[in-house]
Amino acid sequence: MKKVSFVIPCYRSAGTLGGVVEEIESTMRREEQYEYEIVLVNDCSPDNTFEVIRSLCKEKAYIKGIDFAKNFGQHAALMAGLRHAAGDYVVCLDDDGQTPADEVGKLLDKLEEGYDAVYASYAHKKHSLFRNLGSKVNELMTRVMLGKPRELYVSSYFAVKRYIVDDMIRYENSYPYVIGLVLRATKNIANVPVDHRERKEGHSGYTLKKLLNLWMNGFTAFSVTPLRIATTVGIFCACGGFAYGIYTIVKKFINPDVPMGFSSLMAALVFIGGMIMVMLGMIGEYIGRIYISLNNSPQYVIKERLNAE
């Protein structure tokens, strides 16, 4: 009998986590061909989320609890959950009830068909305007920077096979990005449509700062495309500056009375100087992340484990 591990990163979910666990339990009772476990990772939530996890772990031996020493982010929590998951299939979903656990059978059926990874897709997302905009930017970034196929929809609700998990958890650098790890491991990925629910309580833990950090992780950890874009822009600016210089010289020979423009010179200097600063900043970002990784900065620090080795 195959085993399914449910990995749930938890943050400000004291009021919703119990309902998510109950839905998983009722759903898996119908999926009798599978054993299952639940791995709950508390990302140093400021409310009493870990107390809820502690209570669930005391009641049920198949629930594992992990408590972070500080907030490391959703993707670090996913990595910790993946390392503690023992299932043949691993399903990752949200703690707020918006990802429907009762439709997990659709994802598992696709894995049984032979796909290595399956992402839930939504016809209508019930996130806020800010989160939907963030999702669109993330979609564009993964397509341009990570080579994601245009037709593939990626979300926080997905299922992967054991060998994909084993490859993902080999990644020990300081800035994990789960979507990049999946795309690095396989292209045999499918989508299944599911319903996206309204949030019952609370609000998203993603702020603009966290979204920007997430995107930065994505395209600096798994792609050198930004550096190639910077090189291309630099070449374009250099060619443009050279052409403009030739034009200025020819113009001066044709009409010696033409005054040399201070404003245009300053505009060109500011533009080129700005581009140089952007390129240096991008290179510095890569170098800084290399430095932090060489210092073995951890992806996360676990403060306490419950029902887990």
Query: Distance (Å, rounded) from C-alpha 189 to C-alpha 63?
Result: 28
Domain enclosing residue 274, as ranges: 225-294
More reliable by pLDDT, 267 or 268: 268
Same domain for 96 and 150? yes
Name the region of 51 (left: φ>0; alpha: ψ -120 to 50; beta: rest): alpha
Q: pLDDT of 268-290, one tens digit each?
A: 776 777 778 777 777 877 787 77
Using CB atoms within 10 A of its CB, is residue 207 exposed (0-12), middle (13-18) or buried (19+)?
exposed
More reliable by pLDDT, 180 or 206: 180
238: pLDDT strictly greater than 80 = no
Tell me what pLDDT residue 1 has.
86
How many domains are contained in the chain?
2
Tell me what pLDDT residue 256 has.
72
More reliable by pLDDT, 273 or 207: 273
Same domain for 138 and 282? no
Q: Please count the other Cβ atoms lying within 10 Å of the Cβ belonging to residue 165.
A: 23
pLDDT-above-70 percentage for the chain: 78
Mean pLDDT of the region 231-246:
74
Give exposure, 246-268, as e/b (b: 16+ Cβ within 10 Å).
Answer: eeeeeeeeeeeeeeeeeeeeeeb
Same domain for 151 and 284? no
Tell me what pLDDT residue 229 has.
74
Same domain for 16 and 51? yes
Same domain for 30 and 92? yes
Same domain for 80 and 199? yes
More reliable by pLDDT, 132 or 236: 236
Place 264 in a pLDDT band, splitting at 50, 70 and 90: low
Q: pLDDT of 91-108, one tens digit each?
A: 999 998 889 999 999 999
Tell me what pLDDT residue 52 has.
96
Tell me what pLDDT residue 281 has.
74
Nearest to 201 by CA among 6, 2, 20: 20
Q: What is the mean pLDDT of the chain?
A: 83
More reliable by pLDDT, 78 or 235: 78
Same domain for 178 and 242? no
Same domain for 256 and 274? yes
Same domain for 15 and 163? yes
Mean pLDDT of the region 159-181:
91
Tell me what pLDDT residue 27 has.
95
pTM: 0.77
Range name among 57-66, 129-138, 152-161, 292-301 with the lowest pLDDT average: 129-138
Place 131 in a pLDDT band, splitting at 50, 70 and 90: low
Place 258 in a pLDDT band, splitting at 50, 70 and 90: low
Same domain for 212 and 279? no
Tell me what pLDDT residue 122 has.
85
Same domain for 136 and 280? no
Same domain for 206 and 117? yes
Instruction: Kindly report the CATH number assigned to the domain that includes residue 56.
Output: 3.90.550.10
118: pLDDT strictly greater than 60 = yes
